[in-house]
Structure 1
Amino acid sequence: MIIRFSVIILLFSLCISTTGIAQKQNIKTKPQEKVVVTGAQDREYWSNLLYKIASPVILNLANGTLKKNMPVEKAPGYGLDDTKVTYLEAVGRTMAGIAPWLSLPDDGTKEGKMRKQLREALLKGITHAVDPNHPDYLNFRTEQQPIVDAAYIAQAFLRAPKALWEPLDSVTKKRVAEEFKALRTRTGAYNNWLLFAGINEVFLLSIGEQPDPVRIEFAKRKILEWYQGDGWYSDGPSFSMDYYNSYVIHPMLVDFFKVLSDKKRIKAEDYETAVKRMVRYAEFTERFIAPDGSYPPFGRSITYRTAAFQALAQTALMEKLPEYIAPAQVRSGLTAVMHRIYDGCNNFDSNGWLVLGFCGHQPQIADYYTSTGSLYMATLGFLTLGLPADHKFWTDPASDWTSKKAWSSQPFKKDYHVDY
């Protein structure tokens, strides 16, 4: 009896459900019009988002309140001394990502005013960072980790020398150089860390200081030995399937080789080969972007979020994209990524600082070397803001990226292997 009653109830529910579906199908709805977003709107979104990410670090450093106000969240099992490394991490990584944008000339737009504010604040903050008597003096002198984050400061100076290096006063410049030289008392891991030591030395070379040629040569030789082919380097003797080719290896190697090429320390062809390999890797990362703007959360350090696209962003910034990848295609893909990861996930605390995680607060996925300062690698995905607003990257109509073409039955270019 109970079974029969249950069957009757189930059949009655199905009838109601079917009727409801039929009623819905008889309702005629007006098709929604597709919203067209311009490149100017994309740029406004990018610049506002980068300002949101970078301003807590830069403005607090300028005000002498970085160590006072920056929260320090650490991964489970964190293995470093956070008080000695996390603040330099935040500053160096933010500088490297924001440098191309700050190098643009001033103008009266809202974006221009934000740039000017951050550039002036950062110049002031740099003086604090290397002043031993200042509360926000940053640690270059102990621990291994500062080798890494000094390298991002070096990369920022190399990316925007006229905006971030030349305006500094002579005392600050001397102090910066001395802090970089102090890094030579330590060594790091036998992997991408060699590049950090190398770029620190070529930065010194670029400002007229005597570099350590051994650190430069060792980094150059080992990274080239670790090239695996088809645009991929191993991170040390063993290959790791992760985003470190974008977080570090391709962009830093290209910037490292650019200085060496300009100083006639390597052949121009060596630099061009490094660029071609980065371009090939950028093709892969463009294809990683799914139609909805998501991308695979694999490998180490995925808490660095949009830094996964640094190589693609730098390739576009250098105007080296392959012919079949239109600049607007990259803009549209990266904009989709930013909307997906920053609008769709709550990645900020109540005071605007980044939190540990990939899509929201997920501290369990953070690595043992990750703290709040580490997360500002995310700014590296915004390098293409260094292209002016009237560049075709920003002015061309939106364009579907490769995976969006593939999954909507549009023609798209098949992939291939390269031998360089």
Structure 2
Amino acid sequence: MLMLREFDDRRLSPYTGWTRDHWAALADHLLLSARRYASASHARISFPGPPGGYGADVDALEGFARTFLAAGFRVAGEHGRDPLGLMEWYAQGLATGTDPRSPERWVRLDEHGQAKVEAASLALVLHLTRPWLWDRLDPIVQEQIVDYLAPAVGGDYPPINWIWFQIVVEQFLASVGGPFERKDIEDGLAFTDGFARENGWYADGAERAYDHYAGWALQFYPVMWSEMAAGDPAADSRRPLYLDRLERYLHDAVHLVGADGSPLVQGRSLTYRFAAATQFWTGARAGTATPAPGLLRRAASGIARHFTEHGAPDEDGVLTLGWHGAWRPIAQSYSGPGSPYWAAKGFFGLSLPADHPVWTAVEEPLPVESGDYHRVVRAPGWLVSGTRSDGVVRVINHGTDHSHPGTHLTDSPLYARLGYSTATSPVLAGEHAADPLDQSVVLLDEHGRPSHRTGFETLLLDRLPSGTMIGASRWQAHWVTPEGDDRGDHGYGRPGTVHLGPWMELISAVRGPWELRLIRVPATELERGPLRIGGWPLPAAEPVRTGTAAVSNGTMCSQVIGLDLGGVVSAGDSAPLGPWTLVPWRATTGPARPDTWYDVAVFLGAQEPGRPPVLSWDGPALARVTWPDGTADLLDPSAALRVP
């Protein structure tokens, strides 16, 4: 059992107690535990559990390459001091894994695409530890490594964050006299420029794909590449732009961490857990002017502490497939027993020496610990509400679905729900994962199946003078009979046979723990079913049976107020935060009336909801919302729904 409390320093770290010693002890624990699952040559690390979707050979390579990240960061930050013999241990694995004659050789980049991902980790660590590893390798082993990485040159990479894997590998090859194509690097850099969005954000490709990859990949690799290529005019000219984007992005990122250290439970690859800390260490290493070092460490350490205090790693020192403890349904098609070790990217802070300001500065509070806030994050289309009283960060989503406007896919619970938070998880398994219930606005067909919203149009994202946020979107309700099955997919919406329904319009007004939703179904000849609104999915130890759309788990409350009917669905083993997920809902008794504004109030908070926001109409055109704190806002629905 790993004991970290003995390192607590509440003077230096008044919020988490964590110091560099905690991070080092955690890294060492994971690395030494991993050795129990290594092959005799150390080339393969095969963690327990059934093989992933790509097979045992890929799993073993991931086990090596991803733990190698933690080892490299650990030694680089100590300027080569290596009492655990990490470099010698991994050098043996490198020699065997890249030996084409060895029965323990690694799957090559031209044999399986996943090797292209792992190759980037190998190249990155070889760069960071060059004086203590690469420079000491036998020339034959150096040649083997170059030959192993060489298929990256001219290789075919998916047009997402993977482009950076090719850039990083070829940059390393160039630095050691290996083969590379400058055109590959230049074309890749130009292509990734197309990922850039407002206020420093990146999308993961051409789609509205916003998730944790925005930080642990798309902010991380540009900064590291510009460091690897320092002195090259192309790198030196690009670095200020990358740093500016990173700094602007980090101001949003620190607002997306809960007071308990939980990141948003949103997007794919959640099993990488404290890899979400990578972005904050990247800011520290890059020397961004803001946020301050003490705030960056507070965010990063809070994330790591959150997971270590909730069962990750487990009692055997293993990072299992899961979020807190093991929960296999969180896996995607590419997830295997070695996959969770991309969490090692979260140890990037250890590449910074103990006297770096990020380690010596006193921790500063997270935004959610300093006060309530309402923040419009335009790139992903999120209205972000943080409340100091419970430390929860909520996101109301009018911009992310991992698709394009006008598509008709199923709703991915990881991307297309209307809300995500640091205290709840979307329903990810069972019938309500495929058929939207939590955080949804749907029409029900004649069989009771809910409609989907993927492909919606974002119409408005704004902040009123009072601080209240307002967002709007519209979509054509559609029902999809998916092609194939959904086992082990990538977490995106799925295509299939589509039945189109009427258009739907949604306006969200957000203040504190409350969201007021205004919903309208414009007049159409298409059949309209009943309207149903799903609220926040609350983790719980037991199911409930109640006729009201309100529920509490003893810590948090979730409620939906409005419409005619209501209840709570108890979904078992459907999310990683607890054995049950409780979802309150409200619905109309009959088909949604055309051109009628329906309103519901949706709540998530630690306190009992109390008085909800009240909606009244000033004539036919203006809606007045009076919030529990006495603030009154005037909304013009027609203006909110104008196409930008």
TM-score with structure 1 length normalisation?
0.78
* Structure 1 segments unaligned to the other structure (5+ residues): 1-33, 410-416
- Number of residues of Structure 1 aligned to a counterpart in Structure 2: 364
Kindly indicate whether residue 127 of structure 2 is the aligned counterpart of residue 150 of structure 1.
Answer: no
CA gap of 1:189–1:162, structure 2 versus 1, over 3 A, is same
Query: Could you say what secondary structure the match of 1:278 adopts?
Result: helix
CA displacement 1:17-60 (0-9 Å, x = unmatched): xxxxxxxxxxxxxxxxx982546962221111111223344675
The counterpart of 2:238, out of the listed 270, 294, 300, is: 270
CA displacement 1:322-373 (0-9 Å, x = unmatched): 1xx332222233222212112223443x542211011111110111111122
- Whole-angstrom distance in 1 between the partners of 2:252 and 2:72: 25
1:156-175 equivalent positions in 2, closer than 5 A: 156-175=125-144
Letter in 2 for 1:240: A
Structure with greater proportional strand content = 2
Q: For residue 237 of structure 1, what is the aligned residue in structure 2?
A: 206
- Whole-angstrom distance in 1 between the partners of 2:45 and 2:74: 27
CA gap of 1:37–1:355, structure 2 versus 1, over 3 A, is farther
1:10-409 equivalent positions in 2, closer than 5 A: 36=10, 38=12, 42-57=19-34, 61=38, 63-64=40-41, 67=44, 70-74=47-51, 78=53, 80=54, 82-105=55-78, 114=83, 116-140=84-108, 141-184=110-153, 186-264=155-233, 266=234, 268-322=236-290, 325-348=291-314, 351-406=316-371, 407-408=387-388
- Whole-angstrom distance in 2 between the partners of 1:74 and 1:57: 17
CA displacement 1:158-205 (0-9 Å, x = unmatched): 233223322222111111000111345852322111221222111111
Deviates more, 1:236-245 or 1:325-334: 325-334
CA gap of 1:96–1:282, structure 2 versus 1, over 3 A, is farther
- Whole-angstrom distance in 2 between the partners of 1:68 and 1:339: 25
Query: Could you say what secondary structure the match of 1:283 adopts?
Result: helix
CA gap of 1:291–1:184, structure 2 versus 1, over 3 A, is same
Residues 61 and 125 in structure 1, CA contact (< 8 A), matched pair in contact too: no
Residues 43 and 105 in structure 2, CA contact (< 8 A), matched pair in contact too: no
- Whole-angstrom distance in 1 between the partners of 2:9 and 2:147: 54
Root-mean-square deviation (Å):
2.8
Q: For residue 8 of structure 1, what is the aligned residue in structure 2?
A: none
Residues 64 and 135 in structure 1, CA contact (< 8 A), matched pair in contact too: no
Q: For residue 28 of structure 1, what is the aligned residue in structure 2?
A: none
CA gap of 1:61–1:106, structure 2 versus 1, over 3 A, is farther
CA gap of 1:238–1:94, structure 2 versus 1, over 3 A, is same
Residues 61 and 136 in structure 1, CA contact (< 8 A), matched pair in contact too: no
Residues 144 and 186 in structure 1, CA contact (< 8 A), matched pair in contact too: no
Deviates more, 1:375-384 or 1:175-184: 175-184
* Structure 2 segments unaligned to the other structure (5+ residues): 1-7, 372-386, 390-461, 463-644
Residues 60 and 69 in structure 1, CA contact (< 8 A), matched pair in contact too: yes
Higher relative contact order (CA 8 A, sep 6+): 1
- Whole-angstrom distance in 2 between the partners of 1:321 and 1:381: 21
How far apart are residue 132 of structure 1 and its match? 3.1
CA gap of 1:58–1:263, structure 2 versus 1, over 3 A, is farther
CA gap of 1:83–1:284, structure 2 versus 1, over 3 A, is same
CA gap of 1:65–1:210, structure 2 versus 1, over 3 A, is closer
Structure with greater proportional helix content = 1
- Whole-angstrom distance in 2 between the partners of 1:47 and 1:169: 29
Query: Could you say what secondary structure the match of 1:368 adopts?
Result: coil
Residues 251 and 310 in structure 1, CA contact (< 8 A), matched pair in contact too: yes
- Whole-angstrom distance in 1 between the partners of 2:43 and 2:324: 25
- Whole-angstrom distance in 2 between the partners of 1:50 and 1:68: 16
- Whole-angstrom distance in 2 between the partners of 1:189 and 1:296: 26
CA displacement 1:264-288 (0-9 Å, x = unmatched): 3x16221211122122222322222
Residues 42 and 90 in structure 2, CA contact (< 8 A), matched pair in contact too: no
Q: For residue 6 of structure 1, what is the aligned residue in structure 2?
A: none
Residues 38 and 397 in structure 1, CA contact (< 8 A), matched pair in contact too: yes
Residues 312 and 319 in structure 2, CA contact (< 8 A), matched pair in contact too: no
CA gap of 1:403–1:183, structure 2 versus 1, over 3 A, is same
